[in-house]
Structure 1
Amino acid sequence: MKHLLIAAALALTATATHAEVVDATPGGFEVKRTAVLNAPADRVYVALTQPSAWWNKDHTWSGSSANLSLSAMSGGCLCEKLPNGGSVLHMSVVYAQPGRGLRLFGGLGPLQMSGAAGHLSWALSEKDGKTTLVQTYDVGGYMKGGLDKIAPAVDGVLNEQLDRLKAYVETGKAP
Protein backbone atom coordinates (compact mmCIF):
# COMPACT_ATOMS: atom_id res chain seq x y z
CA MET A 1 0.00 0.00 0.00
CA LYS A 2 2.83 2.38 0.89
CA HIS A 3 4.38 1.83 -2.56
CA LEU A 4 1.08 2.70 -4.25
CA LEU A 5 0.84 5.96 -2.29
CA ILE A 6 4.41 6.89 -3.20
CA ALA A 7 3.76 6.07 -6.87
CA ALA A 8 0.57 8.14 -6.84
CA ALA A 9 2.36 11.08 -5.21
CA LEU A 10 5.15 10.91 -7.81
CA ALA A 11 2.61 10.80 -10.64
CA LEU A 12 0.83 13.86 -9.29
CA THR A 13 4.12 15.68 -8.84
CA ALA A 14 5.18 14.86 -12.40
CA THR A 15 1.87 16.16 -13.75
CA ALA A 16 1.99 19.36 -11.71
CA THR A 17 5.52 20.27 -12.85
CA HIS A 18 4.34 20.61 -16.45
CA ALA A 19 1.36 22.87 -15.69
CA GLU A 20 1.64 26.54 -14.93
CA VAL A 21 0.20 29.99 -15.03
CA VAL A 22 2.88 31.44 -17.32
CA ASP A 23 1.82 35.07 -16.90
CA ALA A 24 -1.04 36.87 -15.18
CA THR A 25 -1.94 40.55 -15.10
CA PRO A 26 -5.26 42.32 -14.52
CA GLY A 27 -5.60 42.55 -18.32
CA GLY A 28 -4.84 38.94 -19.21
CA PHE A 29 -3.10 35.68 -18.54
CA GLU A 30 -1.52 32.62 -20.13
CA VAL A 31 -1.80 29.09 -18.81
CA LYS A 32 0.19 26.25 -20.34
CA ARG A 33 0.53 22.52 -19.88
CA THR A 34 2.55 19.88 -21.66
CA ALA A 35 1.65 16.18 -21.52
CA VAL A 36 2.93 13.07 -23.26
CA LEU A 37 0.16 10.74 -24.40
CA ASN A 38 0.84 7.11 -25.16
CA ALA A 39 -0.81 7.24 -28.60
CA PRO A 40 -0.13 8.51 -32.11
CA ALA A 41 -0.98 12.12 -32.93
CA ASP A 42 -3.83 11.24 -35.30
CA ARG A 43 -5.62 9.36 -32.51
CA VAL A 44 -5.05 12.20 -30.02
CA TYR A 45 -6.45 14.70 -32.54
CA VAL A 46 -9.59 12.63 -33.10
CA ALA A 47 -10.11 12.40 -29.33
CA LEU A 48 -9.72 16.19 -29.00
CA THR A 49 -12.65 16.59 -31.36
CA GLN A 50 -14.87 14.42 -29.11
CA PRO A 51 -15.19 16.49 -25.90
CA SER A 52 -18.43 14.67 -25.02
CA ALA A 53 -16.26 11.60 -24.30
CA TRP A 54 -13.77 13.22 -21.91
CA TRP A 55 -14.82 16.72 -20.75
CA ASN A 56 -16.00 16.82 -17.11
CA LYS A 57 -19.77 17.36 -16.90
CA ASP A 58 -19.21 19.60 -13.86
CA HIS A 59 -17.71 22.17 -16.22
CA THR A 60 -20.66 22.40 -18.60
CA TRP A 61 -23.71 24.69 -18.52
CA SER A 62 -26.11 21.77 -19.06
CA GLY A 63 -24.58 19.41 -16.50
CA SER A 64 -23.94 16.77 -19.18
CA SER A 65 -20.82 16.27 -21.30
CA ALA A 66 -22.99 14.41 -23.80
CA ASN A 67 -24.32 17.81 -24.87
CA LEU A 68 -20.88 18.98 -26.06
CA SER A 69 -19.77 18.89 -29.67
CA LEU A 70 -16.77 20.18 -31.58
CA SER A 71 -16.80 20.76 -35.31
CA ALA A 72 -13.09 20.69 -36.15
CA MET A 73 -13.00 23.01 -39.14
CA SER A 74 -12.46 26.73 -39.43
CA GLY A 75 -15.69 28.44 -38.46
CA GLY A 76 -16.82 25.38 -36.50
CA CYS A 77 -17.47 25.54 -32.80
CA LEU A 78 -17.14 23.96 -29.41
CA CYS A 79 -20.86 24.08 -28.68
CA GLU A 80 -23.27 22.74 -26.09
CA LYS A 81 -26.95 21.91 -26.26
CA LEU A 82 -29.10 23.23 -23.42
CA PRO A 83 -32.58 22.13 -22.31
CA ASN A 84 -35.64 23.48 -24.14
CA GLY A 85 -33.75 24.12 -27.39
CA GLY A 86 -31.07 26.36 -25.88
CA SER A 87 -27.41 26.33 -26.80
CA VAL A 88 -23.99 27.74 -25.94
CA LEU A 89 -21.18 28.61 -28.33
CA HIS A 90 -18.16 28.23 -26.02
CA MET A 91 -15.45 28.80 -28.62
CA SER A 92 -15.02 29.08 -32.39
CA VAL A 93 -12.51 26.98 -34.32
CA VAL A 94 -9.90 29.15 -36.03
CA TYR A 95 -7.35 26.45 -36.97
CA ALA A 96 -7.73 22.72 -37.47
CA GLN A 97 -5.03 20.46 -38.86
CA PRO A 98 -5.51 16.76 -38.13
CA GLY A 99 -2.61 15.24 -36.26
CA ARG A 100 -0.91 18.63 -35.84
CA GLY A 101 -3.05 21.12 -33.96
CA LEU A 102 -6.34 22.72 -33.06
CA ARG A 103 -6.99 26.34 -32.01
CA LEU A 104 -10.20 27.81 -30.67
CA PHE A 105 -11.17 31.41 -29.89
CA GLY A 106 -13.56 32.55 -27.19
CA GLY A 107 -14.24 32.53 -23.49
CA LEU A 108 -14.76 29.44 -21.37
CA GLY A 109 -17.04 29.40 -18.32
CA PRO A 110 -17.24 32.70 -16.45
CA LEU A 111 -15.04 34.39 -19.07
CA GLN A 112 -18.13 34.40 -21.31
CA MET A 113 -19.77 36.87 -18.96
CA SER A 114 -16.88 39.34 -19.13
CA GLY A 115 -15.16 41.39 -21.77
CA ALA A 116 -12.42 38.76 -22.08
CA ALA A 117 -11.66 36.09 -24.65
CA GLY A 118 -8.68 34.06 -25.70
CA HIS A 119 -7.11 31.38 -27.81
CA LEU A 120 -7.10 27.80 -26.58
CA SER A 121 -4.44 25.94 -28.52
CA TRP A 122 -3.47 22.29 -28.65
CA ALA A 123 -0.22 21.59 -30.53
CA LEU A 124 0.64 17.94 -31.23
CA SER A 125 3.97 16.37 -32.14
CA GLU A 126 4.58 12.66 -32.42
CA LYS A 127 7.72 10.66 -31.78
CA ASP A 128 7.99 6.87 -31.51
CA GLY A 129 4.21 6.45 -31.37
CA LYS A 130 3.78 8.90 -28.48
CA THR A 131 2.34 12.39 -28.76
CA THR A 132 3.52 15.48 -26.94
CA LEU A 133 0.50 17.71 -26.49
CA VAL A 134 1.03 21.35 -25.55
CA GLN A 135 -2.14 23.05 -24.32
CA THR A 136 -2.05 26.86 -24.07
CA TYR A 137 -4.83 29.31 -23.24
CA ASP A 138 -3.99 33.00 -23.77
CA VAL A 139 -6.73 35.31 -22.48
CA GLY A 140 -7.02 39.09 -22.65
CA GLY A 141 -9.61 41.77 -22.08
CA TYR A 142 -11.61 43.05 -19.15
CA MET A 143 -12.99 41.21 -16.13
CA LYS A 144 -14.09 43.01 -12.99
CA GLY A 145 -11.40 42.49 -10.33
CA GLY A 146 -8.77 41.52 -12.92
CA LEU A 147 -8.11 38.45 -15.02
CA ASP A 148 -5.07 37.57 -12.92
CA LYS A 149 -7.44 36.54 -10.11
CA ILE A 150 -9.17 33.86 -12.20
CA ALA A 151 -6.03 32.48 -13.92
CA PRO A 152 -5.29 29.77 -11.28
CA ALA A 153 -8.89 28.48 -11.44
CA VAL A 154 -8.83 28.38 -15.25
CA ASP A 155 -5.48 26.59 -15.12
CA GLY A 156 -6.94 24.02 -12.72
CA VAL A 157 -9.99 23.35 -14.88
CA LEU A 158 -7.95 22.99 -18.08
CA ASN A 159 -5.44 20.73 -16.33
CA GLU A 160 -8.28 18.49 -15.20
CA GLN A 161 -9.65 18.34 -18.75
CA LEU A 162 -6.21 17.45 -20.13
CA ASP A 163 -5.85 14.67 -17.54
CA ARG A 164 -9.27 13.35 -18.61
CA LEU A 165 -8.33 13.56 -22.30
CA LYS A 166 -5.09 11.65 -21.64
CA ALA A 167 -6.99 8.92 -19.77
CA TYR A 168 -9.58 8.71 -22.55
CA VAL A 169 -6.93 8.42 -25.27
CA GLU A 170 -4.89 5.82 -23.38
CA THR A 171 -7.68 3.69 -21.86
CA GLY A 172 -10.83 4.44 -23.86
CA LYS A 173 -12.60 6.05 -20.91
CA ALA A 174 -12.30 9.24 -18.87
CA PRO A 175 -12.33 9.12 -15.07
Structure 2
Amino acid sequence: MTFRYFTAAISLAVAALAAPAQAEVVEASDSGFTTRAGVVVEADTQAIWLALISPGGWWNDAHTWSGDASNMTLEPQAGGCFCERIPASEEDGAIGLDGSVRHMSVVQSFPRKVLRMRGGLGPLQGEPADGVLTITLKPVDGTTRILWEYVVGGHMRYEVPVIAKAVDGVMNQQLAGLASQFGGPVGAGGDTEEAASDDEDTASEDEAAADDEEGSADEPATAQDPPARATSAEDVAEALDALAAELED
Protein backbone atom coordinates (compact mmCIF):
# COMPACT_ATOMS: atom_id res chain seq x y z
CA MET A 1 0.00 0.00 0.00
CA THR A 2 1.55 3.34 -1.04
CA PHE A 3 1.57 6.33 1.28
CA ARG A 4 -0.72 8.27 -1.08
CA TYR A 5 -3.25 5.39 -1.03
CA PHE A 6 -2.95 5.08 2.73
CA THR A 7 -3.71 8.76 3.32
CA ALA A 8 -6.59 8.73 0.85
CA ALA A 9 -8.07 5.71 2.63
CA ILE A 10 -7.85 7.53 5.96
CA SER A 11 -9.71 10.50 4.50
CA LEU A 12 -12.54 8.29 3.23
CA ALA A 13 -12.83 6.45 6.53
CA VAL A 14 -13.01 9.63 8.57
CA ALA A 15 -15.57 11.08 6.19
CA ALA A 16 -17.83 8.13 6.99
CA LEU A 17 -17.42 8.54 10.74
CA ALA A 18 -20.38 9.89 12.70
CA ALA A 19 -19.82 8.50 16.22
CA PRO A 20 -20.09 10.75 19.31
CA ALA A 21 -16.59 9.97 20.57
CA GLN A 22 -14.82 12.77 22.39
CA ALA A 23 -11.37 13.13 20.84
CA GLU A 24 -8.76 15.83 21.10
CA VAL A 25 -5.09 16.62 20.85
CA VAL A 26 -4.40 17.34 24.52
CA GLU A 27 -0.79 18.48 24.15
CA ALA A 28 1.78 19.20 21.48
CA SER A 29 5.37 20.41 21.37
CA ASP A 30 8.27 20.48 18.94
CA SER A 31 9.10 16.91 19.94
CA GLY A 32 5.70 15.19 19.85
CA PHE A 33 2.03 15.18 20.79
CA THR A 34 -0.70 13.35 22.72
CA THR A 35 -4.14 12.52 21.38
CA ARG A 36 -6.93 11.21 23.59
CA ALA A 37 -10.45 9.91 22.94
CA GLY A 38 -13.15 8.41 25.14
CA VAL A 39 -16.49 6.69 24.69
CA VAL A 40 -19.04 4.92 26.87
CA VAL A 41 -20.63 1.68 25.62
CA GLU A 42 -23.33 -0.62 26.97
CA ALA A 43 -21.23 -3.72 27.54
CA ASP A 44 -19.18 -5.20 30.36
CA THR A 45 -15.38 -5.10 30.48
CA GLN A 46 -15.09 -8.83 29.72
CA ALA A 47 -16.91 -8.52 26.41
CA ILE A 48 -15.02 -5.38 25.43
CA TRP A 49 -11.66 -6.92 26.31
CA LEU A 50 -12.34 -9.97 24.15
CA ALA A 51 -13.29 -7.71 21.24
CA LEU A 52 -10.30 -5.44 21.82
CA ILE A 53 -7.80 -8.29 21.49
CA SER A 54 -9.47 -9.44 18.26
CA PRO A 55 -8.76 -6.39 16.04
CA GLY A 56 -9.76 -8.21 12.88
CA GLY A 57 -13.37 -7.70 13.95
CA TRP A 58 -13.31 -3.90 14.28
CA TRP A 59 -10.11 -2.40 12.82
CA ASN A 60 -10.84 -0.56 9.59
CA ASP A 61 -9.70 -2.21 6.35
CA ALA A 62 -8.54 1.17 5.06
CA HIS A 63 -5.88 1.36 7.78
CA THR A 64 -4.16 -1.91 6.93
CA TRP A 65 -1.28 -2.71 4.60
CA SER A 66 -3.05 -5.77 3.21
CA GLY A 67 -6.40 -4.05 2.68
CA ASP A 68 -8.18 -6.59 4.91
CA ALA A 69 -8.49 -6.22 8.69
CA SER A 70 -9.09 -9.96 9.06
CA ASN A 71 -5.32 -10.32 8.66
CA MET A 72 -4.80 -8.43 11.95
CA THR A 73 -3.90 -10.31 15.14
CA LEU A 74 -3.02 -9.27 18.68
CA GLU A 75 -1.32 -11.36 21.37
CA PRO A 76 -2.30 -9.76 24.73
CA GLN A 77 0.89 -10.65 26.60
CA ALA A 78 4.00 -8.57 27.32
CA GLY A 79 6.16 -8.79 24.21
CA GLY A 80 3.16 -9.89 22.16
CA CYS A 81 2.67 -8.63 18.64
CA PHE A 82 -0.11 -6.48 17.20
CA CYS A 83 0.65 -7.80 13.74
CA GLU A 84 -0.77 -8.15 10.25
CA ARG A 85 -0.28 -10.92 7.75
CA ILE A 86 0.36 -9.89 4.15
CA PRO A 87 -1.05 -12.74 2.04
CA ALA A 88 1.12 -14.16 -0.72
CA SER A 89 0.66 -12.75 -4.20
CA GLU A 90 1.54 -14.48 -7.44
CA GLU A 91 0.88 -11.59 -9.79
CA ASP A 92 3.04 -11.40 -12.93
CA GLY A 93 4.24 -14.95 -12.38
CA ALA A 94 6.11 -14.12 -9.17
CA ILE A 95 6.49 -16.78 -6.50
CA GLY A 96 4.05 -15.96 -3.70
CA LEU A 97 5.39 -15.60 -0.17
CA ASP A 98 3.47 -14.37 2.86
CA GLY A 99 4.68 -11.13 4.39
CA SER A 100 3.92 -9.48 7.69
CA VAL A 101 3.82 -6.15 9.52
CA ARG A 102 4.40 -5.44 13.21
CA HIS A 103 2.18 -2.48 14.00
CA MET A 104 2.91 -2.40 17.75
CA SER A 105 4.33 -4.49 20.59
CA VAL A 106 2.46 -5.16 23.84
CA VAL A 107 4.22 -3.79 26.92
CA GLN A 108 1.41 -4.15 29.47
CA SER A 109 -1.71 -6.31 29.59
CA PHE A 110 -4.18 -6.37 32.48
CA PRO A 111 -7.25 -8.24 31.18
CA ARG A 112 -10.46 -6.20 31.40
CA LYS A 113 -8.48 -3.15 32.59
CA VAL A 114 -5.49 -1.95 30.56
CA LEU A 115 -3.78 -2.71 27.27
CA ARG A 116 -0.62 -0.74 26.49
CA MET A 117 1.36 -1.08 23.26
CA ARG A 118 4.37 0.66 21.75
CA GLY A 119 4.96 1.53 18.09
CA GLY A 120 4.42 4.02 15.30
CA LEU A 121 1.11 3.53 13.51
CA GLY A 122 0.52 4.24 9.83
CA PRO A 123 2.96 6.74 8.31
CA LEU A 124 4.75 7.01 11.67
CA GLN A 125 6.12 3.49 11.15
CA GLY A 126 8.70 4.88 8.74
CA GLU A 127 9.95 7.50 11.22
CA PRO A 128 12.39 7.34 14.17
CA ALA A 129 9.58 8.65 16.38
CA ASP A 130 7.90 6.20 18.73
CA GLY A 131 4.40 6.03 20.17
CA VAL A 132 2.66 4.48 23.19
CA LEU A 133 -1.02 3.58 22.92
CA THR A 134 -2.80 3.02 26.24
CA ILE A 135 -6.36 1.68 26.25
CA THR A 136 -8.19 1.54 29.58
CA LEU A 137 -11.56 0.04 30.45
CA LYS A 138 -13.55 1.13 33.50
CA PRO A 139 -17.08 0.14 34.62
CA VAL A 140 -19.35 3.17 35.04
CA ASP A 141 -22.97 2.73 36.21
CA GLY A 142 -23.69 -0.44 34.25
CA THR A 143 -21.71 0.67 31.21
CA THR A 144 -17.99 0.73 30.38
CA ARG A 145 -15.87 3.74 29.62
CA ILE A 146 -13.12 3.17 27.06
CA LEU A 147 -10.27 5.65 27.13
CA TRP A 148 -7.84 5.63 24.22
CA GLU A 149 -4.60 7.67 24.51
CA TYR A 150 -1.71 7.77 22.03
CA VAL A 151 1.50 9.57 23.01
CA VAL A 152 4.02 10.19 20.22
CA GLY A 153 7.53 11.57 20.62
CA GLY A 154 10.81 11.80 18.73
CA HIS A 155 12.09 12.95 15.37
CA MET A 156 9.63 12.81 12.48
CA ARG A 157 9.57 14.39 9.02
CA TYR A 158 6.24 16.07 9.62
CA GLU A 159 5.12 19.30 11.18
CA VAL A 160 3.67 18.36 14.55
CA PRO A 161 0.35 20.24 14.15
CA VAL A 162 -0.24 18.49 10.81
CA ILE A 163 0.48 14.92 11.89
CA ALA A 164 -1.25 15.43 15.26
CA LYS A 165 -4.49 16.49 13.58
CA ALA A 166 -4.40 13.50 11.23
CA VAL A 167 -3.61 10.96 13.96
CA ASP A 168 -6.32 12.45 16.19
CA GLY A 169 -8.93 11.76 13.52
CA VAL A 170 -7.70 8.23 12.85
CA MET A 171 -7.55 7.25 16.54
CA ASN A 172 -11.10 8.49 16.99
CA GLN A 173 -12.21 6.44 14.00
CA GLN A 174 -10.61 3.25 15.32
CA LEU A 175 -12.16 3.70 18.77
CA ALA A 176 -15.54 4.16 17.11
CA GLY A 177 -14.97 0.89 15.24
CA LEU A 178 -14.45 -0.94 18.53
CA ALA A 179 -17.54 0.72 20.05
CA SER A 180 -19.61 -0.28 17.01
CA GLN A 181 -19.24 -3.92 18.07
CA PHE A 182 -21.60 -3.10 20.96
CA GLY A 183 -24.15 -0.95 19.19
CA GLY A 184 -22.03 2.19 19.13
CA PRO A 185 -21.23 4.74 21.82
CA VAL A 186 -23.94 5.83 24.24
CA GLY A 187 -21.79 8.71 25.44
CA ALA A 188 -18.55 10.56 24.71
CA GLY A 189 -16.75 9.38 27.83
CA GLY A 190 -17.03 12.63 29.72
CA ASP A 191 -14.00 14.82 30.40
CA THR A 192 -11.10 12.84 28.90
CA GLU A 193 -8.60 14.68 31.09
CA GLU A 194 -10.48 13.63 34.23
CA ALA A 195 -11.01 10.12 32.87
CA ALA A 196 -7.31 9.73 32.21
CA SER A 197 -6.56 10.82 35.76
CA ASP A 198 -9.12 8.40 37.20
CA ASP A 199 -7.67 5.48 35.23
CA GLU A 200 -4.10 5.95 36.42
CA ASP A 201 -4.76 3.66 39.39
CA THR A 202 -5.01 0.68 37.03
CA ALA A 203 -1.23 0.77 36.52
CA SER A 204 1.39 0.07 39.18
CA GLU A 205 2.63 2.89 41.41
CA ASP A 206 6.20 2.27 40.29
CA GLU A 207 5.26 2.64 36.64
CA ALA A 208 3.25 5.78 37.30
CA ALA A 209 6.22 7.30 39.13
CA ALA A 210 8.53 6.40 36.26
CA ASP A 211 6.17 7.93 33.73
CA ASP A 212 6.01 11.16 35.73
CA GLU A 213 9.79 11.34 35.94
CA GLU A 214 10.19 10.77 32.20
CA GLY A 215 7.53 13.34 31.42
CA SER A 216 9.19 16.06 33.49
CA ALA A 217 12.58 15.34 31.96
CA ASP A 218 11.29 15.51 28.39
CA GLU A 219 9.06 18.56 28.81
CA PRO A 220 10.31 21.40 26.59
CA ALA A 221 10.95 24.88 27.95
CA THR A 222 8.23 26.25 25.70
CA ALA A 223 5.36 24.37 24.12
CA GLN A 224 3.21 25.16 21.13
CA ASP A 225 -0.51 25.65 21.54
CA PRO A 226 -2.32 22.37 20.87
CA PRO A 227 -3.42 22.14 17.23
CA ALA A 228 -7.10 22.35 16.41
CA ARG A 229 -9.12 19.17 16.93
CA ALA A 230 -9.67 17.05 13.83
CA THR A 231 -13.44 17.22 14.08
CA SER A 232 -14.35 16.96 10.40
CA ALA A 233 -13.40 14.97 7.34
CA GLU A 234 -12.19 18.20 5.74
CA ASP A 235 -9.79 18.84 8.63
CA VAL A 236 -8.27 15.38 8.41
CA ALA A 237 -8.12 15.38 4.61
CA GLU A 238 -6.29 18.72 4.70
CA ALA A 239 -3.77 17.36 7.20
CA LEU A 240 -3.21 14.17 5.19
CA ASP A 241 -2.71 16.10 1.94
CA ALA A 242 -0.06 18.16 3.73
CA LEU A 243 1.66 14.97 4.92
CA ALA A 244 1.75 13.51 1.43
CA ALA A 245 3.11 16.77 0.02
CA GLU A 246 5.91 16.82 2.60
CA LEU A 247 7.08 13.34 1.65
CA GLU A 248 6.95 14.13 -2.07
CA ASP A 249 8.99 17.35 -1.75
Deviations 1:113-154 (A, max 9, x none): 011111101111113331011100000011113333201111
Deviates more, 1:22-31 or 1:69-78: 22-31
Identity %: 45
2:20 corresponds in structure 1 to 15
Alignment partner of 1:47: what SS?
helix
Aligned with 1:78 (options 73, 79, 82): 82
1:132 corresponds in structure 2 to 145
Alignment partner of 1:19: what SS?
strand
In terms of fraction of residues, the more strand-rich structure is 1
1:144 matched to 2:157? The reply is yes
2:57 corresponds in structure 1 to 53
Which segments of 5 or more consecutive residues in structure 2 lack a partner in the other structure? 1-17, 89-97, 185-249
Matches within 5 A, 1:75-114: 75-84=79-88, 85-114=98-127
Alignment partner of 1:42: what SS?
helix
Within 1, Cα distance between the matches of 2:116 and 2:20? 23
C-alpha root-mean-square deviation of aligned residues, in Å? 1.5
Within 2, Cα distance between the matches of 1:52 and 1:129? 27
Q: Is the 8 A contact 1:26 1:149 kept in 2?
A: no
1:115 corresponds in structure 2 to 128
1:169 matched to 2:173? The reply is no
Amino acid at match of 2:20: T
The two structures have a TM-score, normalised by structure 1, of 0.85
Amino acid at match of 2:115: L
Q: Is the 8 A contact 1:27 1:148 kept in 2?
A: no
Which segments of 5 or more consecutive residues in structure 1 lack a partner in the other structure? 1-11
2:203 corresponds in structure 1 to none
Which of 1 and 2 has greater Rg?
2
Deviations 1:30-64 (A, max 9, x none): 00011101101111111110110000000001000
Amino acid at match of 1:108: L
Within 2, Cα distance between the matches of 1:129 and 1:43? 13
Within 1, Cα distance between the matches of 2:27 and 2:105? 24
